[in-house]
Amino acid sequence: MLAILKTALRAIRRNILRSILTMLGIIVGIAAVIVGVSMGTGAKAEVDRQIASMGNNLLIIFSGNMSRGGVRGGFGMQPNLTERDYDTLRREVTGLAGISPEVRATVQVVAGNQNTSVGIWGVSADFADIRSWKFQSGENFTEADVRNAAKVCLMGKTTAASLFGEGIDPVGQTVSIQNSPVAVVGWLASKGANTFGQDQDDIIIMPYTSVMKRLSGDTKFRALNAAASGPEVISDVTNQITAILRQTHQITPDKEEDFSIRSQQEMSDFFNANNRVMTILIGAFAGISLVVGGIGIMNIMLVSVTERTREIGIRLAVGARARDVLRQFLIEAVVLSVVGGGLGILTGYWLAPLLTRFAGFPTLISSQSVLIAFSVSAMIGVVFGFFPALKAANLDPIDALRYE
């Protein structure tokens, strides 16, 4: 076995340039597999991170039905979720870790001589927990603040930076929102961009009562944010919410709902489905180049068998069986493709970070993909090396010895 491996390596070294050119097809193919799969897993990890930043076991109940086809004018165009819905759900749904209304307004905020236009979210005291907002300093507003429509707010990092300067703690400051003073009670820790690329830190969060009464004048919510107490109760909670809302909205069984519920899992599935398509596409291209590389190996092995007909004749004459010759050429093909595969993996390792640095693509090389790439390259050697090896093994010793 060792002797055969040695013979194979010698045969490959003898035509080193030809061998490298032959391997190039495999190198490119395997590198493409590594990079392609790393892009897929990298994108998935990024989506998972972003989705996780939205909260844990999150359910969002939107006004309006989004599951019907056609343009619906976006969610929340006609808010129809009421204070009564919110109270009922909070009271009656079991398995809820928290629930919060969501209203929004975009207003000009002034602090000293600085001002900025920012989206204000009106929510309940549960919201910070539901959406996993952490506090850099200060603390959340209270249930009492919500009841009293208090003039308090939480401020995101970007907003704070544009009003007070980079890194300056806004807690204890007062800002002016539509000419009424609002106290900053919490400074939110950064979350970065969301899946749509929006800066999640450019935000002011206030009790929903304050926003509705003092800023927007809305009487209904565009959405409700809820958190289930665990991943296993999400579907149960969803069913309860649906049943209750159908009842409070007086929707007969033959009618469609005027609200829709999205779970975090669905959102993550949606984005990952896109990534999967991309991964499959890249995988297909990589597969094609691997097949081309395999054909290259087959081609060069056929040339090699013809060139070495005499050698095969000698080996047969001194007593090599057909399977000895078959094994020799098969191992040679496998060595070619496996060395090519190894070089391809190295190339992929080198290329993937470059892609991240220069194209901003998240990449993550999994040991699984390396393992698969390696075994695929070995398989290519066996599959594409088999025909030439068989040809060598079936040579007639007399003809082979006489071959010029």
Partner 1 sequence: MEPIIKLVDFRRTYRNGSLEVHAVRGVTLDIAPGEFVAIMGASGSGKSTMMNTIGCLDRPSSGHYYLDDVDVGDLGRDELADLRNSKLGFVFQGFNLLPRTSALENVELPLLYCRPPMRAREQQERAMAALEMVGLADRADHYPNQLSGGQQQRVAIARALVNEPRVLLADEPTGNLDTHTSIEVMGVFQSLNAQGITIVMITHELDIANFCKRKVVMRDGLIRTDEPVLDRSLATEALEQLKEEQRAVHLA
Binding residues (CB under 8 A) for partner 1: these are 2-3, 10, 14, 310-311, 313-324, 397-398, 401
Element (H, E) at 320: none
Instruction: Return the exposure string of 259-273: e unless at least 16 CB atoms fall within 10 Å of the residue's CB, then b.
Output: bbbbbbeebbeebbe
Tell me which amino acid residue 106 is: T
Q: Is 12 within 8 Å of 332 (Cβ atoms)? A: yes
Measured from the CB atom, the residue of 16 and 71 that comes closer to partner 1 is 16
Helix intervals (H) in 202-233: 208-210
Q: How far is the CB of 24 from partner 1 (least distance, A)?
A: 24
Nearer to partner 1, 6 or 68 (CB): 6
Tokens of 305: 């068998």
Choose between 75 and 329: whose C-beta lies nearer to partner 1. Answer: 329
Q: How far is the CB of 296 from partner 1 (least distance, A)?
A: 24
CB of 320 to partner 1, least distance (A): 5
Closer of 203 and 325 to partner 1 (Cβ): 325
Nearer to partner 1, 104 or 315 (CB): 315
In angstroms, give the least distance from the CB of 326 to partner 1: 12
Compute how many other C-beta atoms are within 10 angstroms of the C-beta atom of residue 117: 11
Q: Phi and psi (nearest 5°) for 89?
A: -60, -45
Backbone angles phi, psi at 81, to 5 degrees: -95, 130
Tokens found for residue 344:
């391809």
CB nearer to partner 1: give 7 or 265: 7
**Rounded-to-integer distance, Cα 23 and Cα 294, Å:** 9
Closest contact distance (angstroms) between CB of 335 and partner 1 is 17
Measured CA to CA, the distance from residue 240 to residue 96 in angstroms comes to: 10
